[in-house]
Each structure stands twice: as structure tokens, then as C-alpha cells.
């Protein structure tokens, strides 16, 4: 049976509160008592319980993370960034997969409350009014990761999705393409759907290029078949010379369809994705994409949350991190 703080207090012949002060504020304890407590801890091989410490000092040094789909490769580097920052700052992570389900989300938020986590990292999904109300009820520091809210004063870390999509289309236009298609997430997705679609539309209009609904295929982010989406787009717009997809997974699914239908990339069709997940570097051909600094987003989000937990000043509420275009083999320049 593991020794408890009571066992240490009994062996050292001091009170439980004295043992606690030796572990957490040793300078407040006289030397003789401190020595007896440390000797008792060593003899019993006692390891303090983090939750017990949290009950005393109102901190458990744990952070709760909610992710909509942990199978999505996009989140791997974000979680790694969170983990590295957490280790540096003395936190542990509790990671929960919600499947974008409201009931599961609320259940996990309640679990975080019961386990007294110090703060919450809320990833990717929009903040709906009832979500915000629940977060307010829990009264815990929150940072939004790869999402944001313009309605509520919640700190966030993400890229400018609309500008990133605009830059992708401008890159294709500068490469000589004029008939451009898009595989987009549904416009009800205010984070990765509407914003990236708006970037596509803005670039096409600014360069006076015509496009219609046939050039765009909309799919649900969490229940979709990239191969089927590619098939649908080519039925509607067989003459496109370049396609922008709202994620790398969609782009890789598109290239699979093109390969099976003997359509060459990039000789016949240029393809540009979004995210720069690891698979984009190993696909055939290697994928040109909009690179999000996923590791940095996760790392910065933890730093931002730590600042709020510690009561430090944070001048930037909605923090935008830079994106870039990584040019690989799936796009080509069209020579007039």
C-alpha cells in the first residue's frame, strides 16, 4: 500500500499541514521539523499526490485539451507543440476526442471541472452560444486553438484562413492557370469552410476570372469521401487546369482519383492543398500546399493559456500566426 501524507506526518511527529509546507514552501518551516519530514519522506519513499496538492494550492498543473477528431493528421503536430510547451512550463495534458459531438464535449468539460484542471485548450470547432455559456459556467481560463470567436472575448491562436486561401489561388493564377476549381468544406463551417471559400472567391474576382458553382464541390469536414468529392467535381467541371482543396487530406484523395483515371499531376492538373501535414511530403507527387505552423500554434496556445493562469498581461487577444506556400511537385507553371 502506498504511503500517504498522514504516514509521513506520523513518522516525523508533525502535523499534516507541516508536511505540506515542507513540500511546497520549505522556507516557512523550522530546520529541525523540515529535516524530520524529509527523512520520513525518504524512508517511506513517499510521492506527493498531484490532486491533493491541487486541493491545497488550487492548481493541479494539468491542462484539458478537446479535439474534434484525433484521427485527423492535422492535429499531430499541434498536440506535439502543446506537449513540448506543457513540459517546459510544468503541466500535464488530458486530451479528449469529441467527434464534434455537443454532448461529448460538455461531458469532457465537466470532467475537466471535476479534475480541477488549470485551463482548457479548445481546438478547431466554432464557439456556439451554448458552448460559451458552458465555458463561462466552469469559470476556467480558455484558449482557442486553430479557431476563433468574433462574438466572444476569448483568446485564440490561428492563421488567417481567408488570406491563406487567397494566396493559394493567387499562386495558381501567377502560374498561368485561369480555370480553377475548389473542393471546399461546407460553408456552415465558419473556421475552415466559409473563410477558405471567401479567399478563393476574392482572388478569382480580383483577377477578373469567371467561375461558377460547377467549379466548387462542398463537403462536410467530418463525414466525407475525398475520392467521391473529386469524382463529383470533375463531372461538373472537367476542363479545370488546377484545383485548390481545403485540406491536404482532400488533395491526396483528389490525386488518388486522378491517378486511377490516368490524369497526370501536374502535367494535366495542378493540385494545391492546405495544412502541410506530414503526408504531403511523401505523396506522389509531393504536394504543394499552404503550410500552417501547427507545432507553433500548439506551443503558443499553451504559452498563452499559461499567461492567463498566472495572471500575466497578454496584449493580443486574437493572435494570428504566419502561413506560407510550400511549393512541391504537384503544381506547374503554364507557359503561354
- Structure confidence by residue, pLDDT tens digits, 133-192: 999 999 999 999 999 999 999 999 999 999 999 999 999 999 999 999 999 999 988 899
Sheet holding 180-185, edge to edge: 216-219, 180-185, 242-245, 270-275, 288-291, 324-326
335 within domain boundaries: no
Quick one: 309 and 265 in the same domain?
Answer: no
Quick one: 204 and 300 in the same domain?
Answer: no
Q: Which residues contact 94 (CB under 8 A, 6 or more apart)?
A: 62, 63, 64, 65, 111, 112, 115, 117
Q: Which residue has the cell 511537385?
A: 329
Give the pLDDT score at 47. 75
249 within domain boundaries: yes
Quick one: 242 and 187 in the same domain?
Answer: yes
Q: Which residues contact 42 (CB under 8 A, 6 or more apart)?
A: none
330 within domain boundaries: no
Q: Is the dihedral of CA 3, 5, 8, 9 positive or negative?
A: negative
Quick one: 124 and 193 in the same domain?
Answer: no
Quick one: 111 and 30 in the same domain?
Answer: no
Angstrom distance (rounded) from CA 221 to CA 274: 13
- What angle do helix axes 5-12 and 16-24 make, rounded to 10 degrees? 100
* Model confidence at 221: pLDDT above 80: no
Give the pLDDT score at 49. 64
DSSP 1: -
pLDDT tens per residue across span 235-286: 999 999 999 999 999 999 999 999 999 999 999 999 999 999 999 999 999 9
Cell triple for residue 69? Answer: 477528431
142 within domain boundaries: yes
Angstrom distance (rounded) from CA 66 to CA 201: 32
Quick one: 99 and 140 in the same domain?
Answer: yes
CATH code: domain of residue 128: 3.40.50.2300
325 within domain boundaries: no
Give the SS3 label for residue 70: coil
Answer yes or no: pTM beyond 0.85. Answer: no
Give the pLDDT score at 165. 98
Angstrom distance (rounded) from CA 213 to CA 81: 38
Please report the DSSP string for 193-223 in residue order: THHHHHHHHHHHHHTT----GGGEEEE-TTS
Q: Is the dihedral of CA 269, 274, 280, 281 positive or negative?
A: positive
Quick one: 153 and 174 in the same domain?
Answer: no
Quick one: 287 and 229 in the same domain?
Answer: yes
Number of domains in the chain: 3
Angstrom distance (rounded) from CA 117 to CA 235: 51
277 within domain boundaries: yes
Quick one: 178 and 202 in the same domain?
Answer: yes
* Model confidence at 119: pLDDT above 60: yes
Closest CA to 230 of 195, 181, 275, 165: 181
Q: Which domain holds residue 12?
A: 5-48
57 within domain boundaries: no
pLDDT band at 2 (very low <50, low <70, confident <90, very high): confident
Give the pLDDT score at 264. 97
Angstrom distance (rounded) from CA 329 to CA 287: 6
* Model confidence at 223: pLDDT above 70: no
CATH code: domain of residue 39: 1.10.260.40
191 within domain boundaries: yes
Q: Is the dihedral of CA 153, 160, 291, 101 positive or negative?
A: positive
Quick one: 94 and 153 in the same domain?
Answer: yes
Quick one: 283 and 171 in the same domain?
Answer: yes
Quick one: 74 and 130 in the same domain?
Answer: yes
Give the pLDDT score at 281. 96
Amino acid at each position: 500500500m502506498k504511503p500517504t501524507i498522514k504516514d509521513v506526518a506520523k513518522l516525523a511527529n508533525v502535523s499534516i499541514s507541516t508536511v505540506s509546507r515542507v513540500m511546497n514552501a520549505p522556507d516557512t518551516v523550522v530546520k529541525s521539523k523540515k529535516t524530520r519530514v524529509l527523512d520520513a519522506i525518504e524512508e517511506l519513499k513517499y510521492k506527493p499526490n498531484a490532486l491533493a496538492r491541487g486541493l491545497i494550492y488550487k492548481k493541479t498543473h494539468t491542462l484539458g485539451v478537446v479535439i474534434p477528431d484525433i484521427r485527423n493528421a492535422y492535429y499531430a503536430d499541434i498536440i506535439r507543440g502543446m506537449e513540448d510547451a506543457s513540459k517546459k512550463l510544468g503541466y500535464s495534458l488530458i486530451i479528449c476526442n469529441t467527434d464534434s459531438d455537443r454532448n461529448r464535449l460538455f461531458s469532457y468539460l465537466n470532467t475537466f471541472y471535476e479534475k480541477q484542471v488549470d485551463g482548457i485548450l479548445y481546438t478547431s470547432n466554432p464557439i456556439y452560444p451554448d458552448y460559451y455559456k458552458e465555458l463561462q459556467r466552469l469559470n476556467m481560463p480558455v484558449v482557442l486553438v486553430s479557431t476563433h470567436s468574433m462574438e466572444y472575448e476569448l483568446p485564440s491562436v490561428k492563421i488567417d484562413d481567408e488570406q491563406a486561401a487567397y494566396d493559394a489561388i493567387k499562386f495558381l493564377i501567377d502560374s498561368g492557370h485561369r480555370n480553377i476549381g475548389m473542393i471546399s468544406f461546407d460553408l456552415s463551417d465558419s473556421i475552415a469552410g466559409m473563410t477558405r471559400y471567401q479567399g478563393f472567391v476574392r482572388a478569382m474576382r480580383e483577377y477578373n476570372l469567371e467561375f461558377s458553382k460547377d467549379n466548387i464541390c462542398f463537403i462536410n469536414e467530418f463525414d466525407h469521401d475525398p475520392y467521391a468529392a473529386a469524382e463529383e467535381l470533375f463531372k461538373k467541371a472537367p476542363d479545370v487546369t488546377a484545383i485548390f482543396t481545403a485540406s491536404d487530406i482532400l488533395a491526396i484523395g483528389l490525386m488518388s482519383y486522378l491517378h486511377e483515371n490516368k490524369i497526370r499531376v501536374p502535367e494535366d492538373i495542378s493540385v494545391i492543398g492546405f495544412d502541410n501535414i506530414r503526408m504531403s511530403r511523401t505523396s506522389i507527387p509531393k504536394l504543394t500546399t499552404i503550410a500552417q505552423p501547427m507545432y507553433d500554434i500548439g506551443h503558443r496556445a499553451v504559452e498563452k493559456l499559461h499567461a492567463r493562469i498566472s495572471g500575466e498581461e497578454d496584449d493580443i487577444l486574437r493572435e494570428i500566426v504566419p502561413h506560407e506556400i510550400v511549393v512541391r511537385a504537384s503544381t506547374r507553371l503554364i507557359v503561354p
